[in-house]
Amino acid sequence: MNDAVDLRGFTCASGVKIPKGTVLKLSSPRTAAASDGAADLFAGVASADKSATDGTTRVGAWQNGIIEFTISGTVTVGDYVVTHGNANV
Question: What φ, ψ does residue 22 adopt, rounded to 5°?
Answer: -70, 135
Arithmetic mean of pLDDT, 16-20: 94
Better-predicted residue by pLDDT, 22 or 70: 22
Question: What φ, ψ does residue 58 adopt, rounded to 5°?
Answer: -130, 145
Residue 78 above 90 pLDDT? no
pLDDT band at 86 (very low <50, low <70, confident <90, very high): low
SS3 label, residue 54: coil
Question: What φ, ψ does residue 34 adopt, rounded to 5°?
Answer: -60, 135
